[in-house]
Structure 1
């Protein structure tokens, strides 16, 4: 954008503040437009909420008049009300600008407010600076959500009719009542005989069967010639045709009638009626895919992403209005799986999600962590309205991106250079110090939430990004271990080995896995990738021909082998030692508490061998950071747990014996010597 001023400053004079302010604003807009091609340079036509704001204020429907209004007394009162209630949303970063001006005025920082207004004024006629109102408050800075409304809508749209459930529904609503009619008609013959009316009714039943069989094809049991209903139909067809049943068919008919009456009672009897009423009620229940479609329709609301916790608007039962529109019974509750999907779009504290078991794995937690990283700067502000405003500003890019995968340090830094964010920087914490606090908090959260899972691969990128913002020379090891094209070993392997060797030398971890950390550290110091990979291959038990390939040559690098990568995880602890030494994590539950949690994960019957091995490795790591008394207490606790779990005890006995030997051998408790950032 090229913005012209009314007059140019005379030669040799200092550049006016307004010109400098306009230059900073143009620089920020240029950087923003370079990364958001779909964004109109002039802001586009007025949005409906801007037109409504102009109508309420009684000013012409132009952005410049709205800008002037919000700088007046009445406009500032409106902005202060929005700040206190939080009932606004920021989908574009500039929608937070006027709210920031209002906060600065209320905080008494008139100089910063005037400077920000000077930067905004040249662009007030084109940018949508008017705050966008919302029906519910903006989520706090520490809130996360499992999925966006769009993602939940896609998941609900994938729910299709369950063939087994629909077949059961057809059986209960169509075929069981028809079988009752067949049986009742046959029982009438005992008292009425095969008269003309009886045969006419029988012919009508056979015609109905043909029609039902053509329209309802989910159930096939009625096609079995040996089934009781098939025998009744065959005997009825003979009687309607005026032919007597042969002795074999007559015997089958008597057996079919006797068994059907003995099983459910005579049609119309009290016990038979109660059974059919229960089955009819079951068949009348709405299908899950129908309720999922209703829930998906609810997500079409503009503010579905910000549904207030506990409001029940999304997860509540079918309303009378919805029942009239969809024919679903009013008051029907949504299935638990659908309610869980809808609850996942509500912003809430991550610890609450963990307590509700809404985060089932470390991998899912890793998807949520970028949201915490997005607002980490905002959480350092003491004033709650300002904290909420800045969190909404930093989240603004997520409205046009996938909720869990859009954040990068570059995006965060670009938002931080927005003039309104810089205007309140003096009222907040040091961003570098705040990034370090967030890095440590994220590391502790990942370790404590799932003590038997370690650090998931997808979390490594976020940790590295936070370390970059924290200006820490911390390098986290990521997979794959080697470059897919060049075959070069990941250089982050060497500092990971250094941290593991310095932390775990002389500990049960070193003894349990038979590692010589002193020699391993020397290889890492020399950056001898060949020796390290050969060591991992030997520990993995790879035969020589798999290490060197046929004729002494390998077609693929050794580091691509899955067994070699697993041994690299064992040697380096895959970033656990880095978190302890470089980041300085201190779990609130203590390392002994994490050891107990890791053992609980390892002894689960549902755990796969791979997950069991990972959990056991975390157990050995956590135990190695405990004192001698804590180690003994954990081993006693493990014995008590296995005493009531004989199958797990038999499965884990060899590994436990080896762990006990490693823990009771000579060695000293390690000193983490974590470098406090």
Structure 2
């Protein structure tokens, strides 16, 4: 991709599109909470565009905000765009305002920064460090606690140097943590959402207007219709309505009309009583004609007769056994507690929990309603949709959360990993207080969102934070800490492989595994998934290294034959050089190999870029070979993993049918297929027997899936039998399944 084309792809087009989507939702969505969230997105994208246009933001740089160092945690929106806001900036938080009030300091960040460096302020920091009663939300909040620890350890010079580095930003960034009443929980315990987030989600549940309208119909308008029907039945003679009227009829009728006006004013959800053709409206209109009008016309009398007869046929006479039974059932339905009521009830049960940790007793919080609780009768079961909301806050080991179904994807799993990796990183610091502080800082850093980067620049690393560099001399890596890091690496790798075998490792997980590998002293390559729309035509040097690791594992296997790879030739590539002042090592020969394998002829488009990137993923196995190299293997064995992956590919293929935008699903299907090829190529797998089982599995799929995946399985069987694909990726009726194509893809 040439420079002009690349500038176009990371220009204002994408932010403008996102801004327009947020604006449409913020002004047109029916739900108020959704409109508010969209309005917040709208303001963030406005900041992105404003910063890009006035030169404050440089999208694609690891220092996207002018005058701000790379270590400052940026606010990042979808696509890796920085908004210009610092996550540790903004208005004073409540605990900062409270500190200003307590100390008599001006309500300014620099004044609070200065307070923390007083004797009293340092004493408070040390006390919270020793007790563990603090929360690090963003990494910057660990800086002053590090200063306090360094001073206590006698490292005054290092502490002062750190203050010199962060001091210029003291007026705009938070460098102290959030106080909390209790110490942080065990780092082995993780959660998808905190109790506070679960409560907020429950509070956002609004009454369903359709359900509320139905409840109103059952509890208000049906009983009122019965009263009107009973009024007219008193006028029936020989089956004809409106024949006999006694002296009290008009008074009763007037009372009912007055009651109707009061009901219609209060109960406005159900509009059935206002529709002229509905029986209730016909009965009421006839009463009004008799009381305030000129009486019934032949037409209105006919409508009234039809309405009365219809109501009697359908439900029986009011007070009859069948009518009473029906209304009793409807009353039970109409007065049953709604999901909204259960959401408030369960939200109240969570009120005593710390809002920044998970929920350890989900079962107790979602147990049947207890006597005395408001909103639902005692013994009523909490509905499953409400139970699912609370389950997202379940606290436990990552294995427990996966087993409970709380972790639906590798992306969600990656969000839980930072706590585990943080504990491993902290273990290298012998001092207990410092170990906990480093773990908290690392956890906060793990939640830092990735920036969109150009020129092969890398994301900011943990050891680039000034306060982490300041304590580097107190870090002592031992064989034990390296072993622990290696064990954590294998644990998370196997969990990902076992739980989501058809999914490529998401970039946040790749970064965590790479960090654990460094802690374990393993110099192995970990490669990220690259975005096709900003790909610059070259790969960092670690891609070649990863491909060589894959070649050592896969030479001569089904994987190599299926994709037509010559791993022996690839192993001889060694022309790594350097491009650009900040660029990582690259290999022009590897770049050329991927380009040649993609067969794009140097065309510049997102699809062509995707084809080139896919070849790099094929050659490197996108970290699968690296995982196996460090000792990861599936608990149930490779053949089982291959069949599960094939089942995912079949499920994805079914979603292609009638899909107006099938290409993302086609790509995911091919990624799953590649994972399956890797699983089938592992030691101990009989490819011939495995492909036979896959054919059996395909025969049980719907016709559309059989027709689409049949050629891919034909091609796989052909390779297993010793054949190969032609230059066009076909072999008779068989086809090699890849995810990217310029033009229409044969799969969808």
Q: Which of 460, 480, 485 pairs up with 1:435?
A: 485
Structure 1 equivalent of residue 597 of structure 2: 535
Of the two, which has the highest radius of gyration? 1
Structure 1 equivalent of residue 720 of structure 2: 663
1 CA distance for matches of 2:605 and 2:699? 46
Q: Which of 186, 206, 211 pairs up with 1:160?
A: 206
CA-to-partner distance for each residue in 1:409-459, whole Å, 9 max, x for gaps?
Answer: 62699898998x999969x75333332332232222211111111312332
On the 8 A contact 1:481/1:490 being kept in 2, the answer is no
2 CA distance for matches of 1:379 and 1:217? 62
CA-to-partner distance for each residue in 1:201-245, whole Å, 9 max, x for gaps?
Answer: 233333433443344333233333322223323333333346554
Shift of 1:642: 4.0
- Higher mean alpha-carbon deviation, 170-179 vs 359-368, is at 170-179
1 CA distance for matches of 2:622 and 2:706? 28
Structure 2 equivalent of residue 652 of structure 1: 709
1 CA distance for matches of 2:214 and 2:500? 40
On the 8 A contact 2:554/2:681 being kept in 1, the answer is yes
Describe how 1:438-587 pairs up with structure 2 within 5 A. 438-480=488-530, 484=534, 488-515=538-565, 517=567, 526-527=588-589, 529-530=591-592, 532-538=594-600, 561-581=609-629, 583-587=630-634
Structure 2 equivalent of residue 279 of structure 1: 330
On the 8 A contact 2:462/2:468 being kept in 1, the answer is no
Describe how 1:231-242 pairs up with structure 2 within 5 A. 231-241=282-292
On the 8 A contact 2:391/2:406 being kept in 1, the answer is no
Q: Which of 637, 649, 664 pairs up with 1:590?
A: 637
Query: Counterpart of 2:235 in 1: which secondary structure?
Result: helix
Q: Does 1:410 align with 2:472?
A: no
2 CA distance for matches of 1:250 and 1:36? 74
Describe how 1:384-395 pairs up with structure 2 within 5 A. 394-395=439-440
2 CA distance for matches of 1:169 and 1:606? 42
Unaligned 5+ runs, structure 1:
1-30, 48-62, 69-74, 101-114, 124-131, 539-546, 549-553, 668-677
Q: Does 1:641 align with 2:714?
A: no
2 CA distance for matches of 1:334 and 1:230? 38
Shift of 1:391: 6.1
Shift of 1:605: 7.0
Evaluate the alpha carbon distance shift between residue 460 and residue 605 of structure 1 in structure 2; reply closer, same or farther with a 3 A threshold.
closer
Shift of 1:184: 2.3
Higher helix share: 1
Shift of 1:623: 0.8
On the 8 A contact 1:489/1:559 being kept in 2, the answer is no
Shift of 1:316: 4.5
2 CA distance for matches of 1:453 and 1:575? 12
Shift of 1:329: 4.9
Q: Which of 331, 340, 355 pairs up with 1:289?
A: 340
CA-to-partner distance for each residue in 1:289-322, whole Å, 9 max, x for gaps?
Answer: 3443454455554624456633756444556665
- Higher mean alpha-carbon deviation, 619-628 vs 212-221, is at 212-221
On the 8 A contact 1:440/1:584 being kept in 2, the answer is yes
Q: Which of 636, 644, 647 pairs up with 1:600?
A: 647
Evaluate the alpha carbon distance shift between residue 457 and residue 89 of structure 1 in structure 2; reply closer, same or farther with a 3 A threshold.
closer
CA-to-partner distance for each residue in 1:75-103, whole Å, 9 max, x for gaps?
Answer: 9xxx9xx9xxxx98876989999xx9xxx
1 CA distance for matches of 2:228 and 2:599? 73
2 CA distance for matches of 1:435 and 1:472? 10
On the 8 A contact 2:425/2:442 being kept in 1, the answer is no
2 CA distance for matches of 1:195 and 1:140? 80
Q: Which of 180, 183, 195 pairs up with 1:149?
A: 195
Q: Does 1:624 align with 2:681?
A: yes
Query: Counterpart of 1:625 in 2: which secondary structure?
Result: coil
Structure 1 length normalisation: TM-score? Answer: 0.67
Structure 2 length normalisation: TM-score? Answer: 0.61
Q: Does 1:351 align with 2:399?
A: yes
On the 8 A contact 2:195/2:354 being kept in 1, the answer is no
Evaluate the alpha carbon distance shift between residue 44 and residue 516 of structure 1 in structure 2; reply closer, same or farther with a 3 A threshold.
closer
Evaluate the alpha carbon distance shift between residue 116 and residue 373 of structure 1 in structure 2; reply closer, same or farther with a 3 A threshold.
same
On the 8 A contact 1:432/1:471 being kept in 2, the answer is yes
Unaligned 5+ runs, structure 2:
1-70, 73-85, 100-117, 160-178, 238-242, 451-458, 576-587, 657-664, 725-748
2 CA distance for matches of 1:523 and 1:189? 101
Evaluate the alpha carbon distance shift between residue 479 and residue 602 of structure 1 in structure 2; reply closer, same or farther with a 3 A threshold.
closer
Structure 2 equivalent of residue 105 of structure 1: none
